[in-house]
Every structure is written in C-alpha cells, then in structure tokens.
Structure 1
Amino acid sequence: MSLTVVAGLAGISYRQADYWCRKGFIHVPSKGSGIHRQVGPDEAAVLRTMARLVAAGLAPDAAARVARRGDGRGRYELADGVHITLVPQIQKGPSV
C-alpha cells in the first residue's frame, strides 16, 4: 500500500507520514520515493497506531516505541508493568 493511502487511513497528512519515515519511526523499503513509497502491512499498522497515540498526547518518538510493543490484540506496553489498550476504530464511510 502506498504511504499516501496509509497516511489517509491513519487520519494524518502525507507530509506527517513522510516526516515520520525520514525520522526512522516508520520503516519503508528504500525502493521508491515520495508518494510512490510502499508500506508493508506491519508498518502500516505501526503508523496507524502511532497516529492514534500522538493524537492522544504522546510524543512521536514515544508513540513509535509504544506502537511496536503491541501484543496483537490492542494492548501496548508503555513501560514495565504499565499497559494501555486501544479500542479498535470503526472506519467511517462516506455520508449519503
């Protein structure tokens, strides 16, 4: 999936996602550049989780670390013995 599409699904701008990639928070293959960069499913999940954590008040570097500490069921480790649970988001479709 392209970085542009993943950013849109995460509710952030392409520029924000690109910045996070350049900072090393999101790992994308070196192939491609700009809007043509492809993001794998694992990194897409990290980006979506990171966007939610940043929106909740975490700094991007902390959000990136926490987003990689998930258990696959929405539970993330903030620190030893400190966990948060993210409730799955419902994707809203277009209004009619």
Structure 2
Amino acid sequence: IERTTDELRTNNNAPQHTRLPMQERLIDCRGISCPMPIVEVTKAARTLVGGDRIVVLASDLAFPLDIEAWIRRTGHKLESLESGETIRAVIEIRADQLAP
C-alpha cells in the first residue's frame, strides 16, 4: 500500500494533514535462518509508524518462538501467526512502542 497525503483547508486556509493510510510491508524470509528473520523485522519496524503492519513469510521452524519473544520484548502486536510449509506472521506496529 502506498503512502499518500491528503491536505485539507480550514476556514483560515491553513493546511491540515489527515492520517496517512496504513502501510503494509511484506518481508520474505523463506530460506533464511535465525536470527536473520528477526533482524529483518526489527529493521522494518524502525521505518514504520503506529498502525502500520509487517507481514513476514518464513520457513525457519524456530521463527514462531522467535517472533513471539520479539513481540513480548518490543510491545508490538502479533495479529496472526500461521504455521505450515510457510510460516506467516502479521505484526501491527504500536505507536506507543516506537523509539523517539
């Protein structure tokens, strides 16, 4: 999803910006072993804002445990975690957990 900015004008003609649409970042970590999937998630999280999502595809069998530990440590929200041949995790970035 691309970010766009809508500008509104008030009665005094000063610009007011609406919330940018949510961004969803896909990270394909299939074929990559621990700790690299978590390293990639961490790098992506640092570039996003509250409400944005990261979708991670992974094949490392340790990834579900790793991502759950990362969620506990960072305070972001794990929206879903699906296991199978490909592991799929959806993470919501929490604004109150972002570094200043």
- With normalisation by structure 2, the TM-score equals 0.27
Please state which structure has a larger fraction of its residues in strand.
Answer: 2
Q: Which has the larger radius of gyration?
A: 2
- With normalisation by structure 1, the TM-score equals 0.28
